[in-house]
Structure 1
């Protein structure tokens, strides 16, 4: 398999995603918080709450005639009930079905005809919708998102249509991609009690078994203003935008109850979980998942720096040693699954032709052991810090990226201004921290190790009766 094809396959695997009555009109009594600091290079914004609980973040940047209108809902796969997995991701699709005032399937047509683009994604913790439009179409974006929030179509026809869409997505991303099922396979072995044990794509059996009333109840519980952040960035006037937000969102009622948040703590692991998946692959794959702290904790930042050291590009340790020098791997990757509750530090290796999975695993473990025993050099440490800073700049180079970052920081940490200050948390990480967290978290008893092997290597089952 060509390296480029493999990279695309793995990337696709990882990228992972009732009608309300109209009340009487009320004027918002929101008071804007002070904008972010005005130092050069910092991102300025205004934020406030509507009486119905909708949190609003506005960033004005008039350098290009574009605006990103985004809505983030605090609902992901972890908010689902056992036996009803996949609801959050399913709603990401269902919310494009239309509303009382928007024809079925017309969201895409409306945005494209206005010269814009739109999309959505679902993670374990939240669901995110966005439109990027010419700035003179700001009101259109607000209208579309208010329709989605106030009275989206949640009916049997839409549910049946999107069931087929999700089935096809599952086939393309998980079942028909080499190593495509690794994410749900890792999760179900890494977690025993926490709802992170199922992937956002969920189970088609669960979705098929659900009744229309359950979908409507999910919409009423999670698609409410007090569970959402409206984040807008781009070529806007803040005061004019506030008036438009009042026009389209102030009448939407807040949810009658607090949305469900699981209060589950995954037990500490004391023994390595090892397993083999025989799949339609030609080369062995090694997938390791170590339990790690939730995002935003000091050790999370140290582990994020560590993953850049191990696998952040062709100058990283995994690449130089395992791919380039030893030629035991066709590709390596490390990424922290950054989650609201404790997540996973995932290391991946795809073996080169003629390399056994055991040999590749040993090479990966050797590089981890090096970090445990030796401090990184000053030069290597500075290079990693530079890479992280570059990633921050790139993330906030577009208005859509800024709007999403502001919403993420507010939703997860309660502080949108982390868009300006989170880099300071990374800069506090020391070389000693890298060695410390490697010894604390990257242990065999704290991990899942999963081999992907060609189906031809699967032992044949003995005939019954023998």
Structure 2
């Protein structure tokens, strides 16, 4: 058993460790002549390096009738290149002690490799090959079309509550391309011609629409030379022009019902359209969701699950995106508790946030939670690489946003939390969705 002195020493050590991790993330950034933005962070604590490329293209860059392209390319660009045979990309990574993956959102596509630092050149070569020499042909398109269809069946069509967010977003964003899910429509992908896929790549997967972000055991001078060696020949593309689609404010509560054959328990959700991730209020809404539903001592869980035993599960989260965000609450009933009873319970806790300042104790707790999350996000090279790229991509080319985020967290006051709850969480500006089991 640890003695009190040992516990205290351990706590001090942990605190000091967090202090060192939370220090400013130093980085070097520059633009290449072809428009590629390069970010380099040196971390010599372990012989590891993360090589990543973030393309500023997601499902919001698609058009009606041709949805799912950005997510499709997340898969397609692993098919092969002029110098990498079909199916060999991932084999090369694993054979050299690395890990790799990619993911797509409504706003960006992110590819990465994490290698032992002695394979740094390999990571650069793989990403330059993906950008410069991809093979986009009928064989690859047909192959990945089947892969995407299977993913949709597993993660959406046959997954309990798999269509929940899509059901919410089609109501919340009637005009904006957030209206459809990143996985898109299989019918759209089936109908697309090879030339359309090739045109999509030529338009968006260009160096002037990307950030090459590298973090780890690198020598900065050598890294700059290697980046030039592998990426200088990639031709610059035409400027990518994107115009945000403005939604009309929601002035009257919307009510809708969706059915899911994969569920047995109904769910009730409320969703409010809120500012995008570059707005300080987006972070405030994250804090509100934590106050309401993070952990067993949160307001909604304690009240609805522990005390009243009306809900099996209750939660809330801020779905932060570039152009807008969606603040969502949800609850599953315990037994035959009416869904409207759960809605009433949630609304009561929201009204408390709108009426009174949270306690000093709750405020300190939420500050600690967010500071710990911030520290964790910058504790690994891949996290640092992604955060630096996200800062440049989503915060007006402010790569250093990752160093300002902690200051922003600490600047949010109890008054900010109350004001945001009043401003955004009004019943007259929300969607209430009853998500119900479909009859077999």
1:262 corresponds to which residue? 243
For 1:389 and 1:112, locate their aligned partners in 2 and report how far apart those are by CA, in whole Å: 34
8 Å contact kept, 2:22–2:378: no
Q: How does 1:340-379 map to 2 (within 5 A)?
A: 340-379=322-361
- Contact 1:79–1:260 (8 Å) recurs in 2: no
Partner of 1:339: 321
Runs of 4+ in 1 over 3 A off after TM superposition: none
Determine the C-alpha separation between the residues in 2 that align with 1:91 and 1:449.
34
> Would you say 1:451 and 2:434 are equivalent positions?
yes
1:383 to 365, 373, 380: 365
Aligned residues: 419
Aligned residue for 1:349, secondary structure, equals: strand
The answer to whether the aligner puts 1:435 opposite 2:431 as a matched pair is no
Residues 257-406 of structure 1 aligned to structure 2 (within 5 Å): 257-279=238-260, 280-406=262-388
Structure 1 pair 39/118, CA: closer, same or farther in 2 (3 Å)?
closer
Relative to the length of structure 2, the TM-score reads 0.93
* Structure 1 residues 393 and 40: CA distance shift in structure 2, 3 A: closer
**What residue is the counterpart of 1:126 in the other structure?**
108
Alpha-carbon distance in structure 1 between the residues aligned to 2:135 and 2:174: 35
Cα-to-partner distance string for 1:378-398 (whole Å, 9 max, x where unaligned): 000110011000000111111
Q: Quick check: 2:22–2:375 contact (8 Å CA) kept in 1? A: no
Q: Which runs of 5+ in 2 are unaligned?
A: 1-19
Structure 1 residue 434: Cα displacement? 1.2
Does 1:238 pair with 2:220?
A: yes
Instruction: Tell me the secondary structure at the aligned position of residue 275 of structure 2.
Output: coil
Q: Contact conserved, 1:65 with 1:135, CA < 8 A, in 2?
A: yes
Taking the TM superposition and a 5 Å limit, the aligned residue runs for 1:187-198 are 187-198=169-180
Report the counterpart of residue 20 of structure 1 in structure 2: none
CA distance in 1, matches of 2:239, 2:334: 51
Q: Distance in 2 between matches of 1:391 and 1:80?
A: 33
Give the 3-state SS of the residue equivalent to 1:177 in structure 2.
coil
Residues 285 and 351 in structure 1, CA contact (< 8 A), matched pair in contact too: yes
Kept after mapping to 1: 8 A contact 2:215/2:385: yes
Unaligned runs of 5+ in 1: 1-37, 459-466
Determine the structure 2 residue equivalent to 1:157: 139
Asked if 1 retains the 8 angstrom alpha-carbon contact of 2:21 and 2:375, the reply is no
The 2-side partners of 1:429 and 1:262 are apart by 30
Secondary structure of residue in 1 paired with 2:65: coil
Matched-pair contact (CA < 8 Å) for 1:283–1:352: no
Inter-CA distance 39–169: structure 2 relative to 1 (3 Å threshold):
closer
Please state if 1:228 is matched with 2:216. no
CA distance in 2, matches of 1:132, 1:149: 18
Superimposed CA distance per residue, residues 181-217 of structure 1 (whole angstroms, 9 cap, x where no aligned partner): 1011111011111111111111111111111000000
Summarize the Cα distance change of 1:344–1:39 in structure 2 as closer, same or farther, 3 Å threshold: closer
Between 1:170-179 and 1:276-285, the stretch displaced more is: 276-285
Q: CA deviation at 1:40?
A: 7.7
What is the DSSP-based 3-state SS (H/G/I as helix, E as strand, rest coil) of the residue aligned with 1:292?
Answer: strand
Matched, 1:75 2:57: yes
- RMSD (CA atoms): 1.5
CA contact (8 A) 1:284 1:356 kept: no
Deviation at 1:401, TM superposition (A): 0.5
TM-score by length of 1: 0.88
The 8 Å contact of residues 78 and 262 in structure 1, kept in 2 or not, is answered as no
3-state SS of 2:309 partner: coil
Residues 100 and 152 in structure 1, CA contact (< 8 A), matched pair in contact too: yes
Distance 2:21 2:322 in 1: 30
Asked if the contact 2:367–2:410 (Cα under 8 Å) also holds between the matched residues in 1, the reply is yes
Shift of 1:84: 0.8
Correspondence 1:43 to 2:30: no
